[in-house]
């Protein structure tokens, strides 16, 4: 029974949800300590710089791993070992780049004195954390769902404890960051053991060259698509102080019970399309699974939107009151995740339309965000995020319809979607009135 439920996709959903919960719990606990909102902003900026410095190449290469057709093998391949070496090399290069550009980065995100706090902890964290993204994807490729669950349970529980307990005891954020670094070292050791187990230790320059060539378009795609969230964060860091940045970061979270299962579904469907599964059956499975997720998760999201005014000050503290409105806008934006034309395009290896739509999104996001933040503050950046995402989906839907004759009705129950979209919009309007 458990083996049937914990397939690889659902195990990956569990890991992603646990990762989100771990980050959320750390934030909640830090907000209850005496380190202050400024230090919480420093912690969030630490994570921002670390993530922004490597997200595009890690994400692009992980997509390359999943897009490669799996062929049965009677012996271990050298693939994981060579990919591991690529990740380690690029992680060290990324850490070196952050060190060389440390003054410019500190100035851009608004650190006083043009100095990045806890710089050397950050450099070690980048060098170790980037390769550890491989762990869950190796388990996914090897179809080891229970090991994904075990890994997530161990490392994210450890992360919660290792970051928060030292801060509670010492009221010093630095000790919490050391705890984060120790957890990351454990994850790196876990990865090294996995590589020894599943791969031959054989260096292949040819394989590295082919893998990098295949990864290049994926890296560009991820840079544009996922870069949007970093653009928003950098806009806030550029214009506002660390307290406002912490408020934005704690609010700017798409509802995970929608985002995570739909993202995992999109990856699985793209793989099926790439492997030439029946397109009609695949589209029908998207529609069926999307409908199931909407019925399960959207009502919870609506409750979260309406109650956010009370939950944010309760869970965090009164300084995060403004975060509730940011959260509600991002929560509403998550509804458009149910529209999955990009799954078809990724499966068909059509990267140009995705890049074009993402480019339009980021342009709208930056231009509209710059305009609105001068009138309504950090809320304006959240609204720009919503508008940009809607426009991107409209473009992708039009492209899929034009190229393949596939309408949204073939992969989305539009009646149910519109019903929930209207309810979510009503809930957001009510919440805005309550918060303001």
pLDDT greater than 90 at residue 151: yes
Lowest-pLDDT choice from 69-83, 289-303, 392-406: 69-83
Task: Report yes or no: 304 and 311 within 8 Å, Cβ to Cβ.
Answer: yes
Backbone angles phi, psi at 287, to 5 degrees: -60, -45
Instruction: Examine the pLDDT at 132 and tell me if it is beyond 90.
Output: yes
Structure-token pair, residue 408: 């949204």
CB 253 within 8 A of CB 316: no
d(CA 244, CA 322): 9
Instruction: Dump the DSSP string for 93-116.
Output: HHHHHHHHTHHHHHHHHT-GGG--
Other C-beta atoms closer than 10 Å to the C-beta of 296 total 12
Statement: residue 71 has pLDDT above 70: no
- Per-residue pLDDT reduced to its tens digit, 322-360: 788 888 898 899 899 999 888 888 777 677 788 888 889
DSSP state of 434: H
Coil, helix or strand at residue 130: helix
Phi-psi region of 364 (alpha: psi -120 to 50; beta: other; left: phi over 0): alpha
Sequence ranges of the domains in the chain: 1-225, 231-436
- Lowest-confidence range among 33-42, 193-202, 223-232? 223-232
Q: Read off the DSSP letter of residue 238.
A: H
**Largest pairwise CA distance in the chain:** 64
Q: Is the pLDDT of residue 169 over 80?
A: yes
Q: What is residue 348's DSSP assignment?
A: T
CA angle 41, 46, 48 (to 5 degrees): 90
Model confidence at 192, pLDDT cuts 50, 70, 90, reads: very high
pLDDT at residue 4 above 70?
no
Q: Considering just the CA atoms, what is the radius of gyration of the chain in Å?
A: 21
Residue 281 pairs in a beta bridge with none
Phi, psi of 77 (to 5 degrees): -95, 160
* pLDDT the model gives residue 274: 65
107-143 burial, b at 16+ Cβ within 10 Å, e below that, comes to eebbbeeeebbbbebbbbbbbbbbbbbbbbbbbbbbe
Q: Of 22-26, 215-219, 415-419, which gets the smallest average pLDDT?
A: 215-219
If you average pLDDT over residues 231-243, what whole number do you get? 77
pLDDT given at position 282: 79
The mean-pLDDT minimum among 28-37, 128-137, 240-249, 360-369 falls in 240-249
| CA-CA-CA-CA torsion sign (240, 243, 245, 248) | negative
Q: Do the Cβ atoms of 65 and 137 come closer than 8 Å? A: yes
Q: Which residues pair with 199 in a beta bridge?
A: 77
Q: Angle CA(254)–CA(47)–CA(63) in degrees, nearest 5? A: 65
pLDDT exceeding 70 applies to what percent of the chain? 92
**Residues forming a β-bridge with 77:** 199
The yes-or-no verdict on residue 400 having pLDDT over 70 is: yes
**Beta carbons within 10 angstroms of residue 378's beta carbon:** 24
pLDDT of residue 68: 60
The Cα-based distances of 370 to 129, 200, 250, 312 in angstroms read 32, 51, 20, 26
Q: What does pLDDT average to over the chain?
A: 85
């Amino acid at each position: 029974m458990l083996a049937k439920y914990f397939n690889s996709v659902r195990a990956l959903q569990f890991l992603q949800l646990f990762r989100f919960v771990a980050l959320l719990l750390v934030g909640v606990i830090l907000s209850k300590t005496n380190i202050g909102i400024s230090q919480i902003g420093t912690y969030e900026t630490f994570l921002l710089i670390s993530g922004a410095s490597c997200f595009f190449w890690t994400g692009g290469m992980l997509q390359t791993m999943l897009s490669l057709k799996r062929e049965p093998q009677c012996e271990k391949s050298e693939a994981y070992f060579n990919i591991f070496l690529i990740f380690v090399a690029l992680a060290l290069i990324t850490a070196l780049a952050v060190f060389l550009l440390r003054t410019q980065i500190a100035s851009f995100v608004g650190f006083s004195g043009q100095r990045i706090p806890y710089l050397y902890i950050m450099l070690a964290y980048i060098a170790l954390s980037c390769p550890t993204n491989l762990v869950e994807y190796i388990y996914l490729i090897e179809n080891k769902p229970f090991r994904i669950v075990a890994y997530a349970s161990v490392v994210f529980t450890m992360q919660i404890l290792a970051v928060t307990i030292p801060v509670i005891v010492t009221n010093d954020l630095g000790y919490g960051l050391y705890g984060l670094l120790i957890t990351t070292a454990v994850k790196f050791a876990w990865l090294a053991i996995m590589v020894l187990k599943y791969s031959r230790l054989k260096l292949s320059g040819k394989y590295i060259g082919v893998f990098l060539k295949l990864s290049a378009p994926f890296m560009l795609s991820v840079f544009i698509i996922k870069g949007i969230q970093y653009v928003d964060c950098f806009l806030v860091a550029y214009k506002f102080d660390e307290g406002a940045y912490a408020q934005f970061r704690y609010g700017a979270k798409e509802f995970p019970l929608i985002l995570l299962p739909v993202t995992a579904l999109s990856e699985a469907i793209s793989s099926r399309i790439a492997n030439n599964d029946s397109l009609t059956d695949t589209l029908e499975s998207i529609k069926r699974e999307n409908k199931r997720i909407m019925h399960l998760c959207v009502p919870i999201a609506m409750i979260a939107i309406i109650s956010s005014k009370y939950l944010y000050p309760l869970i965090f503290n009164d300084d995060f009151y403004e975060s509730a409105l940011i959260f509600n806008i991002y929560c509403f934006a998550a509804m458009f995740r149910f529209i999955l034309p990009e799954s078809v395009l990724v499966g068909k290896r059509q990267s140009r339309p995705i890049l074009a739509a993402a480019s339009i999104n980021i342009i709208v996001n930056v231009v509209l965000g710059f305009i609105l933040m001068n009138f309504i503050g950090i809320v304006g950046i959240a609204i720009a995020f919503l508008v940009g995402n809607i426009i991107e989906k409209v473009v992708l839907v039009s492209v899929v319809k034009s190229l393949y004759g596939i309408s949204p009705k073939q992969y989305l129950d539009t009646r149910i979607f519109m019903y929930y979209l209207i309810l979510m919009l009503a809930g957001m309007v009510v919440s805005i009135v309550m918060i303001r």
